[in-house]
């Protein structure tokens, strides 16, 4: 039985999110997953398309990254490249990191949307924290191994349509 229902289920990557829809829904802050959502996993490289979407979104939202990544050097590099706070080693779907991110944003859960590509970490953690959730596919520029795609597809079976 499906038990995870994201507020928004986007049939595309982060660049396909309609900013105006989130604004109309009262969203004032965004908590982003990092790897495969904003950048290719462990690359610290930002595509022009994601950068352009972030530039359009910045006037509307406070932003923070919440990642399970533990590599402090990598996370510091990402913080500089994306010019936003980064919380690493979050242990998603634990609520602790989501609460910390909301405190950084100085917003209530109702004013926040969690954006990520993994139902069992990003979406489940966001929902457990009371935030709106946006499930996206991995960046269209990523060519991931078939075993990883299989895991993602299995996770998506748990999503309520």
Residue 124 preceded by cis peptide, ω within 30: no
Instruction: Answer whether 159's CB lies under 8 Å from 2's CB.
Output: yes
Q: Is 130 inside any structural domain?
A: yes
Structure tokens at 130: 């009371």
Q: Does 2 reside within a domain?
A: no
pLDDT over 90 percentage in the chain: 76
**What tens digit of pLDDT does each residue of 128-153 get?**
999 999 999 987 776 766 766 667 66
Residue 121 lies in a domain: yes
pTM, rounded to two decimals = 0.91
CATH code for position 66 = 3.40.50.1000
Domain holding 76, by residue range, is 8-156
| C-alpha dihedral (36, 37, 38, 41), degrees to nearest 10 | -20
| 14: in domain | yes
Helix (H) or strand (E) run with residue 77 in it = helix 72-82
Q: Give the pLDDT band (50/70/90) at residue 3.
A: low
Burial (0-12, 13-18, 19+ Cβ within 10 Å), 12: exposed
């Amino acid at each position: 039985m499906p038990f995870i229902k994201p507020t928004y289920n986007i049939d595309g990557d982060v660049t396909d999110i309609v900013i105006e829809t989130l604004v109309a829904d009262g969203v004032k802050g965004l908590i982003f997953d990092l790897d495969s959502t904003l950048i290719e996993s462990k690359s610290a490289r930002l595509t022009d398309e994601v950068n352009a979407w972030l530039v359009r979104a910045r006037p509307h939202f406070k932003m923070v990254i919440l990642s399970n990544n533990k590599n402090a050097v990598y996370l510091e590099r990402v913080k500089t490249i994306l010019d936003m706070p980064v919380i690493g080693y979050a242990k998603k779907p634990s609520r602790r990191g989501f609460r910390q991110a909301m405190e950084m944003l100085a917003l209530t859960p109702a004013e926040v949307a969690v954006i990520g590509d993994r139902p069992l970490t990003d979406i489940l953690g966001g929902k457990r924290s009371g935030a709106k959730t946006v499930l996206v596919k991995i960046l269209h520029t990523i060519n991931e191994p078939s075993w990883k795609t299989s895991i993602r597809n299995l996770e998506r079976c748990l999503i309520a349509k």
